Amino acid sequence: MTLASRPQCGPLRTIPHEKCAVRSLPLPLALTARLAPVAVLATAGWALSSGPDTSSAAKDEAPPDTTNKSASASAPATEAATRTYAAAPAPCDSLAGKTVTSLVPGAKEDGKEIPSTDTDVRRTCSWNALKGYDYRWLDVSYEVMKTDEAAQKSYRERVADRSGGGEVPGLGDEAYSVVNLTTEDKQQTREGTVLVRAANALVMITYNGSDFESKKAPGTTDINKGALKAAKEAVAALQDG
């Protein structure tokens, strides 16, 4: 693989940085929101015109049931309370400077963030450098979903697409690591991927390297250790908020 052919965006092939469509409020809910003030005014007008009912039946009548209204009003707060992570952290600040320079010799510590149309949901930072004939590329990506269940489903689908790896205990709620070797025009590239789920968020690490003089790739152990080191720091940055 040559420098020119290396993708310049997205940490994983399965997660393109597509533009996120902004959805409008669903029509029934929008109509309800717009008609609510009208209903309130109509009710108030009726109460003023009819006056209080002083009959014994009215006095003994139970007050109106507002249970459903209260439950509806509290639903958004409950949903927000169960959502552990509301936004993705700054990915370029997720790794220590010494970690960046050790994994990607010659790279600038601050990295380069990939543009995103919704930074609350998805953010990615990349570091890459060629020092002598040695090339290294590192991506750190965060993706925040609405629920733990949605994150679990996405995690399992992505793990299923990557065979030959294994689980990583003690990292997030669940984690998976895999290293693959590819050869293009006799040039080897070894790439390590670590995928971590922490509650409703996914943390994704891509770390690869090539030697353009020998045309060999770095060892599996070196790539795997590097990817795991970056993953641990990235998850810690997410949890620290």
List the domains of the chain with CATH numbers: 27-81 (no CATH), 91-240 (2.60.120)
What would the DSSP string read from start to end of 200-233? TEEEEEEEEEEETTT-----HHHHHHHHHHHHHH
Q: Is the pLDDT of residue 43 over 60?
A: no
- The first and second tokens of residue 232, run together, are 């641990």
- What letter does residue 23 receive in the DSSP assignment? P
Average pLDDT, the chain: 77
Extract the tokens encoding 179. Answer: 């290293």
125 to 8, 63, 145, 211: CA distances (angstroms): 11, 58, 19, 23
Q: Phi, psi (5° rounding) for residue 128?
A: -155, 150
Question: What separation in angstroms does the CA of 144 have from each of 21, 124, 204?
Answer: 16, 12, 11
The token pair at 45 is: 């007008």
Q: How confident is the model at residue 98 (pLDDT cuts 50, 70, 90)?
A: very high
Q: What's the CA gap between 170 and 38, in Å, rounded?
A: 55
Give the type of residue at 147.
Answer: T
Question: What are the two backbone dihedrals, phi and then psi, of residue 196, each rounded to the nearest 5 degrees?
Answer: -125, 135
Residue 135: pLDDT band (50, 70, 90) is very high
pTM of full prediction above 0.85: no
Closest by CA to 104, choosing from 237, 13, 231, 227, is: 227
